[in-house]
Structure 1
Amino acid sequence: MEQLIVVFAQKRNIGLTAIPYLAVIGDNKPIELLEHATPEHIRKDERRFTNDEKELINILSQISDQQLYRKFGREDSLRLFIDGLPGHKLLHSHILPFIDSVLFQAIKVLASSDVNAYYKDAAFGNLYNTDILNIPPLPAKALFYFMLKPEGLSYSLRILQEIPGQQAKEFSLKDREIGFICKRNAVIRIGNRIYYFDDIDHNKLKPFLDKYTIQVPSSRLDDYMKGFVANCIRTYEVIAEGFTIEESNDQPSPHLSLLKDLNLEPVVGLNFRYFNRVFLADNKASVFVDCIYKDGKYRFFRIRRDFGFEQAAVEKLHNLGLRRCGDALFKPVLEDEETGDARALARLAEWLRTNREKLEKEGFSINTEFEDRQIALDLPGLDIKSQEDNDWFDIHVSVRIGDFIIPFLKFRKNLIEGDPAYILPDGRLFLLPPEWFTRFSELFDYAKVEKDSIKLPRAHFSIMERVSSVNVNGHKSGENVVPVFPETSLPVGLNATLRPYQLEGYAWLNFLRENGYGGILADDMGLGKTLQTITMLLRIYQDDSGSVKRNEGSLPPSLIVMPTSLVHNWQAEFKKFAPALKIYNFTGGNRLRSKSIGRIFNHYHVVLTSYGILRNDIELLKHCSFHYFILDESQYVKNPSSKIYDAVKQVESRYRLSLTGTPIENSLTDLWAQMNLVNKGLLGSLAFFKRSFVQPITRQSDEEKELKLKKLIQPFLLRRRKEEVARDLPPLMEQTLYCDMTADQKSYYEKEKSGIRNTISKIFEAKDADQTKLLALQALTRLRQIANHPLMVDETYVGSSGKFEQIVDNLESIVSEGHNVLVFSSFVKDLEILERALKDRKLTYSMLTGATQERQKVIEEFNEKAPIFLISLKAGGVGLNLVKADYVFMLNPWWNPAAEAQAINRAHRIGQTRNVFVYRFISSDTIEEKIAKLQQRKTELADMFVNSNNPLSDLSKEEIMELLS
């Protein structure tokens, strides 16, 4: 019957190998070898083979001619490879050692399986049953006999073969015909018997093939005893005469030390001490032997490793917060790896400081020396004293380290530079706890140092809380939620009912005022920032009885500055909600421009003016004193280098407040600019802010910096989104409509794109970066216009626009169903082209652009009769309440998605009762699609895309060219 066998035989140019065969074995006749068994046989019929047979086939397939050729051959054919093996440079260094290791694997499997193995003598053509090999299930052992006498050392080797159920067999190798099948792990054949060894190579057996005993002269005795004999005692069974072998059963002791790994990074090394031997825990040897020569006698101590004890010690380190970074090396478990030797060493020192007592109780000893300097592991004590002084926290801190008391200011340089290494007066190295860098690093970013005290502005009470671990002003440090403020009674005479979130905003405004802070009320458009502000002002100018008197010197008036288009709205809101307050409108060409204007203001409670007038009349207004200075739509003053920003800084007031729906309209610099106006110095200088926050957050996505910035501004910025607080608002449905360009439009677009791409590429090579991006913006803007309608750039164009056809069709359909639509575009010319189409179809509309003279009349016209309102982004992005509309069309994607959100809020705001549908129109396969994708990527940072002047300034050359791909 056909069965699997393994045949050991000599192969041309290779030597001894083993081949699995499918064979037929009969009585009294040669074994019939049918074919080589290969993994292909297993794939075709897996159930035909046992697990041992499949393992043998797969193991031995590795040394088939074909597989050896694949692994080692570089010749053009298998035949050339086999013929060239005798002179092959890899034969002895790689190929034969590989075959040796595979044969040993096969021997081990054969020893424990039912598969028969045969040895084919090269002198015979056939294979017979009598060629079967006997392979015992257990490995043979080498047994060394040593005899030490005054004249020298002699030793012999015996082979011990244990066979289950039988008496062990012991024999020598001399005078036997022995063949080596494997060398690295010796496998020998004596007749038809195989003996294999797990722990000895053929070189140690060869000397005993032709002699029983080996003599070592006394001149070489000491080296031999400490070398060869010690190794034999460690690895093999040894019978000794003339010297002693003792077992050491002492319990090991764990030891920790500070050292550097292969990457020269500080780590904790784990050692174990056994008897008089210390070694790193990564040593895998299970037995160690020490040789001691004393009083003319040799004594060997055999030390067996206690791996259970060692693993328990490793587990204790894991439980105390270490993780492996090498076999015997550890470092603390951290979310973020520290960079730099000193910071990493500080983490290790902090871990040792914290866990030193526990470690010593568990029997660990600790070496505190690192690179020839002792590390101070004393737990530092902090003595922090502070008091409030007008606008400052006056802070005094001292540090106790062992017997030393050190002023905290001595560590200022370390904290600023991020260097934890400080040399104590006794020469030891003290490593600042990593927690100090979190707790104190910001302190020196914003504080002033005067002699031995640290002065921190009161606006930084969140930093003061981290320093002192005490809550300041009832604010809970570190909470990234809107704090709950004490309820404040509403003023008498307020003609409005505040919603719960508006009451909370009103309480927050009072909290800021009572503690002397400025703030930014940044609620979404339409949530009533104006009403919350008016409520606070009404409360300020009321006396205890609740009456509002003429403001003649009791309190300075408050100044509110806003875009010109909103002055009328603010007047109407004051009249509606707080008629008791006297309002002075300081606008218009006929306004009084007198040096005594301040005395006139003092007869009023609130002065309203525009940003343009503030800028033009600052020489008058900077001499006036105001109680509150309020900036509405404060994103108008986001540019710190502008004249209006400079003018705002010169206005004198006790309190400051900004109102905006987009505190970060274009970049993080917007936030700094607006926060600096209400809480000067809160975020440091602009250069510091860019270095510490803008670059790490926008360029490196530094989450730690982002969280730090949030904590800094959180007490002074209140932002609620419509979906969070105005749950009674109807749903906002948004959909993007992709419009195919007409054939004429597409041809025009592709031609322009090709030319622009070539032009920009040349510009990049010839211009400086800022000039390049400005020219690129102009070129890309032209493509945006063509994607809308080529008429925007070429009045001779006679074709149509796919987007415009779809927009007009949708407008006609929606209006016929009785709906009202706001149509926004960032291009006035866009609206003018649409206006002509509406006239052709006899659709009634209103239009608001920057050129509109009678703005309020146009708004009333829409609210009373026109179903369509065409609005340019700049003219109508803010300050409008157009809840009549239940559809919003966005004709083109804008560089700044925050402006898009503002536009939508003209209709989706408090007072809206119907579902609002927003349609964004994008021309397919154009730059508009690329802009939409970039918006999505950039809006993760507070709905911000690019900086204020050029939306391409943060993009690389590759990203700009990608827009044109």
Structure 2
Amino acid sequence: MKVSSAQPFQIIYSVFEHEYLGYLFESYIVHLDDNGGLTFQHQNISIKNAEEFSSGLDEVDYELIEFMDSMQQDVVARKFSKKPMKTEDFFLKVFDKEKGNKLLQKEIERYLDLRRAEILKKIKGKRLFEMGSDGEPAWKEIFYQDKAATILFHFHRNEDNTHYWPTIKHNGAKVDFTYKDSYILCNEPAYMVVEGRLYHFEKNPEGKKLIPFLRKKFILIPGKIEETYYEKFVCPLIANFDVTAKGFDIINEAYGVNPYIYFSTLAAAETTQGTLFDDKKPGANVEDREKILFELKFKYGPYEFKGEANQKSSVRMEKTEDSFLFHKVSRDPEKERQIIQYLKEIDLLLKHGRLTLSKQDAFAWLTLYKFKLEEKGFKLIQKDVENKKYFLGKPNINLEVNEKNDWFDIHAVIEFGDFKIPFKDLRKYIVKKKREFSLPNGEIAVIPEAWFSKYGELFSFMQENGEDSSERMALNKHHVALVDELKHGNLAKVNISTKLESLKDFNKIDDYPMPENFSGKLRPYQKAGFNWMKFLNNYNFGGCLADDMGLGKTVQTLALLQDEKDQGMEKASLLIMPTSLLYNWQKEAEKFTPNLKVFLYTGTNREKDVNQFEGYDIILTSYGIVRLDVDILKDYFFNYIILDESQVIKNPNSNIAKAVRDLRSKFRLILTGTPLENTTLDLWSQMSFVNPGLLGSQSFFKNEFLQPIEKNQDESKIKKLYNIIKPFILRRHKSQVAKDLPPKIENIIYTTMSTEQEEKYEEVKSFYRNKIMDEIELQGMKKSRMMVLQGLTKLRQLANHPKMVEEDYKGESGKMEDVMIRLNDAISDDHKVLVFSQFVKHLNIVKKHLDKEKIKYCYLDGSTKDRQGQVEKFQDDQSVKVFLISLKAGGLGLNLTKADYVFLLDPWWNPAIEAQAVDRAHRIGQTNQVFTYKFIMRDTVEEKILTLQQSKLKLADELINTEESFMKSLDKADIEALFT
């Protein structure tokens, strides 16, 4: 029966019992009579139509309605059903008396009881009714009792049994609820309806504790089960509620609280069984998988309780000769909460008083906080002492590093409490990643995890130095970066020369005079590269000159070799390179170092005799020749061995990589613009050639760096690897060294149509080709140009994205996929990008993709009013990486020097217009190299336009400024070519 919101009404709430779900609530709007009384005219409402009656509802009403909606049977069935089914079928299946799902029944009951509790907490002050059997919502009113009722549980023990019953009092009067058609409306906490009154209780008992007494005066506990019943039921009842007893005693006791932390070992099998993520790889240490279980206990006098601060008292039962004695121990939940909070603050995040940590994390925590905990009164106790007793003292490591002539001398003192451990013994454990060892007293010491991360690589690279190796080791000087880490991390006392320390920052390296016989002048950055190579030479280090192509790696290297000659070097240096570079090196040597004698060791008729190298300064050869003649070449001890395009040896297991490693020389140098192409193993192969041992063995490198970096993107390992190799790699980009306007790097990106796109394109192309050629035959070229332009425009739009022609197109665009991939790559490398298109529709499609990926951008087309605001935002806001610009609106007059990438989404008729677009970025004030990418769809009119641009370049330069003028330059053959 519909109730009008324009007439007087009131909201009421009605409770009824559902066949399966227990007590549920519904909300109703009831029409009021002239005296303000309820009528029989009512209407059920939900949150969907409640707004219609908003004038009579408050905020609590909306909350109540929403809770009640969530309890309706249809909602419950949908929420807990794994597959769609009718509501009645769901309940018949789940609540079947024989085959029903008991676990799901409990879950549903828990879900509903939480909502009942919320409703009853908020319903005070609202009108609540029992629903009549005929569905009348306001059948019998229920009155909420403001004051909480109290419960007293009575136990009377005699020789044969124990009687047990509760009494309820409200406002000092006893509430008689047995045999009164009373019912429990909510179980946890209990709400009970007795003769139209709704009671709630102090100490929040569960309703199931009262349910048995709705139909009986007391419960009888037989003597044969009383001990079990007392232990499981009476103890917690005494702990949480008021109890009076006859036939046994309850003693109240009070003590101060003392926190105990127990820890014990969980075996690997216990911690890995049934777990998807634990490390079970073959060869993994069992001790790495062992866990430590922490358990917090609160001790009160002789009693010990679980570390959960949720009870004011706990009860322990003691059986006497002829009865039972209950010790009710008062607890201090506030103090217990403070203890748990303190443990949380020091990173012991307990759950139900327990926590499991890896052994490394556990002992790192114990080492850090043991003494603080003991100062605060905590007791730390190991439970499983019979297996192994762990050392809980403080471990200490003191390192001292001193620079010697050819190595670093490492002196170390290791202490675990009063025990001093030989350095070489501990080193073996760290290198093998073994975390436990026995102390002289039989206790097990756990090596701190921090020692593995901070000293792991250092210990792996050390060697015995022949002195007292129990405390002293040696480290190759090319590991200067590791020593520097120790110094700046306050991990060791380091004595190192200022000169060697300057290797970390090559700008601080001394300026060396240029060789007198070098014929030429080095640019400033090239001179810095020469200084760096000279510094490496002085310390017998190898290096990698990794400058960008075109920055003069060849001329810097020749300056170094000329200097060697001027210093009196008589031994030849071997330069190995791809065959195609031999002639270039020969010509460059003639130009810059004419005094150096160059020998070309190549060709099928070469004389395979290293004696012929005597008297020469430079031997030029190829990788192929070295691979063939390695057994001959290794008989000569070269001054330098230099690899050009050294990425050739990136595979350390290749024959050429093995061959160059077998050659002998005093110094080694590699030249490459791409030291890392595919994998970090590329780096290991090349750096291990120039400085053997710098990155350890291949297996060590794979385990310590390659796998953590490439599989786990371990930032700490990336940083560690970078620090080790940094002194021996010099890399300058063109953008770093070019003082004038940087050059433009132009690229054409050919893309491929998606299948759906190609179908659309071919359909339109076929249509226009036939129509246009017929039109030219009938009307001639001049009158057909508009149709030609129309057809070409549609094809160009389809090549970009079919959505530009058909708005409801659902397929993909090959060009858009390529544009977004390259755009994301540029953004991820912190570049700013200008994106140009002739078509505003195309830019709008790109906008949607950027919005979807939450990429910030600026936008400019003919309709943009605040042009300058968009320009300034792009120039000044570092978070905005993309600027979408239409050709007509942004081809001229903009200064966008913050961009170093320009994307041309579609080819223009006039190449000069493209150049104007690129010049928005490539102009005075630009400090970066500008890369342009022109996206061309293969096998489309776009590719043909490129060809026509080239064939009509002169005409374009002189005459073509518009599409119309371009059309005039086309003949029939040109048009036929465009549409084939």
**TM-score computed with the length of structure 1 as normaliser:** 0.63
Indicate which of 500, 524, 546 corresponds to 1:522.
546
64-73 or 509-518, larger mean C-alpha shift: 64-73
Q: Which runs of 5+ in 1 are unaligned?
A: 163-167, 333-343, 544-550, 751-802, 804-887, 890-907, 930-965
1:3 offset after TM fit, Å? 1.9
* CA separation of 1:925 and 1:297: change in aligned 2, threshold 3 A: farther
* CA separation of 1:433 and 1:2: change in aligned 2, threshold 3 A: same
- Distance in 2, matches of 1:520 and 1:716, equals 6
Indicate which of 361, 382, 392 corresponds to 1:377.
392
1:720 offset after TM fit, Å? 1.7
1:501 and 2:525 aligned:
yes
1:671 and 2:683 aligned:
yes
- Distance in 2, matches of 1:638 and 1:225, equals 77
**Contact 1:111–1:136 (CA under 8 A) maintained in structure 2:** no
Q: What is residue 177 of structure 1 aligned with on the other side?
A: 180
- Distance in 2, matches of 1:925 and 1:688, equals 50
Mapping of residues 534-683 of structure 1, within 5 Å: 534-542=558-566, 555-563=570-578, 566=581, 569-570=584-585, 573-574=588-589, 577=592, 581-586=595-600, 596-601=611-616, 605-608=617-620, 622-638=634-650, 645=657, 648-649=660-661, 651-665=663-677, 667-683=679-695
Mapping of residues 828-847 of structure 1, within 5 Å: none
- Distance in 2, matches of 1:184 and 1:439, equals 57
1:450 offset after TM fit, Å? 8.1
- Distance in 1, matches of 2:138 and 2:728, equals 96
1:233 and 2:245 aligned:
no
* CA separation of 1:97 and 1:925: change in aligned 2, threshold 3 A: farther
- Distance in 1, matches of 2:20 and 2:602, equals 106
1:510 offset after TM fit, Å? 2.1
1:353 and 2:367 aligned:
yes
* CA separation of 1:87 and 1:386: change in aligned 2, threshold 3 A: closer
1:289 and 2:315 aligned:
yes
1:407 aligned partner, one-letter code: P
- Distance in 2, matches of 1:218 and 1:529, equals 98
* CA separation of 1:288 and 1:727: change in aligned 2, threshold 3 A: farther
Question: What is the root-mean-square deviation in Å for CA atoms of aligned residues?
Answer: 5.3
Mapping of residues 40-51 of structure 1, within 5 Å: 40-42=48-50, 44-51=52-59
State the Cα deviation string for residues 173-230 of structure 1 (Å, max 9, x = none): 46x634224373554444333334431435546448654x788899988777666554
* CA separation of 1:385 and 1:530: change in aligned 2, threshold 3 A: same
State the Cα deviation string for residues 606-628 of structure 1 (Å, max 9, x = none): 55555566667667654444333
Q: What is residue 328 of structure 1 aligned with on the other side?
A: 353
* CA separation of 1:488 and 1:29: change in aligned 2, threshold 3 A: closer
* CA separation of 1:476 and 1:555: change in aligned 2, threshold 3 A: closer
- Distance in 2, matches of 1:502 and 1:217, equals 100
2:46 aligned partner, one-letter code: T
Indicate which of 422, 435, 445 corresponds to 2:437.
422
Q: What is residue 762 of structure 1 aligned with on the other side?
A: none
- Distance in 2, matches of 1:542 and 1:50, equals 96
* CA separation of 1:284 and 1:62: change in aligned 2, threshold 3 A: same
How many residues are matched?
736
Indicate which of 132, 143, 154 corresponds to 2:152.
143
- Distance in 1, matches of 2:76 and 2:621, equals 90
Mapping of residues 261-276 of structure 1, within 5 Å: 263=271, 265-276=291-302
**Contact 2:403–2:495 (CA under 8 A) maintained in structure 1:** no
Q: What is residue 775 of structure 2 aligned with on the other side?
A: none
Q: What is residue 460 of structure 1 aligned with on the other side?
A: 479
**Contact 1:5–1:115 (CA under 8 A) maintained in structure 2:** yes
**Contact 1:622–1:651 (CA under 8 A) maintained in structure 2:** yes
Q: What is residue 420 of structure 2 aligned with on the other side?
A: 405
1:302 offset after TM fit, Å? 4.0
Q: What is residue 199 of structure 1 aligned with on the other side?
A: 205
Indicate which of 43, 56, 59 corresponds to 1:35.
43
State the Cα deviation string for residues 645-689 of structure 1 (Å, max 9, x = none): 565445443222222222234554443333333223333445555
1:255 aligned partner, one-letter code: I
- Distance in 1, matches of 2:406 and 2:528, equals 26
1:6 and 2:13 aligned:
yes
1:232 aligned partner, one-letter code: L
Matched residue of 2:182: which SS? strand
* CA separation of 1:183 and 1:389: change in aligned 2, threshold 3 A: closer
* CA separation of 1:740 and 1:128: change in aligned 2, threshold 3 A: closer
- Distance in 2, matches of 1:503 and 1:35, equals 91
1:721 and 2:736 aligned:
no
Matched residue of 1:101: which SS? helix
1:359 offset after TM fit, Å? 1.9
Indicate which of 696, 711, 734 corresponds to 2:723.
711
- Distance in 2, matches of 1:612 and 1:87, equals 81
- Distance in 2, matches of 1:240 and 1:508, equals 92
1:349 offset after TM fit, Å? 0.8
Q: What is residue 744 of structure 2 aligned with on the other side?
A: 732
Matched residue of 1:40: which SS? coil
- Distance in 2, matches of 1:741 and 1:446, equals 54
2:726 aligned partner, one-letter code: Q
Q: What is residue 897 of structure 1 aligned with on the other side?
A: none
Matched residue of 1:105: which SS? helix
2:438 aligned partner, one-letter code: I
Q: Which runs of 5+ in 2 are unaligned?
A: 1-7, 273-290, 487-491, 763-814, 816-901, 904-921, 944-980
State the Cα deviation string for residues 398-447 of structure 1 (Å, max 9, x = none): 53323433323334553343221222233222111112222443356545
**Contact 2:129–2:138 (CA under 8 A) maintained in structure 1:** no
Indicate which of 21, 35, 46 corresponds to 2:28.
21
Matched residue of 2:421: which SS? strand
Matched residue of 1:324: which SS? coil
- Distance in 1, matches of 2:23 and 2:657, equals 91
1:28 offset after TM fit, Å? 12
1:345 offset after TM fit, Å? 0.4
1:234 offset after TM fit, Å? 1.9
Matched residue of 1:516: which SS? coil
**Contact 2:187–2:207 (CA under 8 A) maintained in structure 1:** yes
**TM-score computed with the length of structure 2 as normaliser:** 0.62
State the Cα deviation string for residues 788-824 of structure 1 (Å, max 9, x = none): xxxxxxxxxxxxxxx9xxxxxxxxxxxxxxxxxxxxx
* CA separation of 1:675 and 1:188: change in aligned 2, threshold 3 A: closer
Mapping of residues 705-854 of structure 1, within 5 Å: 705-728=717-740, 730-738=742-750
**Contact 1:248–1:301 (CA under 8 A) maintained in structure 2:** no
- Distance in 2, matches of 1:222 and 1:77, equals 49
**Contact 1:627–1:654 (CA under 8 A) maintained in structure 2:** yes
1:535 aligned partner, one-letter code: A
1:376 offset after TM fit, Å? 0.7
1:141 offset after TM fit, Å? 1.9
1:529 aligned partner, one-letter code: K
- Distance in 2, matches of 1:127 and 1:457, equals 90
2:597 aligned partner, one-letter code: I
- Distance in 1, matches of 2:78 and 2:320, equals 59
Q: What is residue 861 of structure 1 aligned with on the other side?
A: none
1:142 offset after TM fit, Å? 0.8
1:324 aligned partner, one-letter code: L
1:716 aligned partner, one-letter code: F
- Identity score, percent: 30
1:32 offset after TM fit, Å? 0.7
**Contact 1:740–1:924 (CA under 8 A) maintained in structure 2:** yes
- Distance in 2, matches of 1:921 and 1:204, equals 78
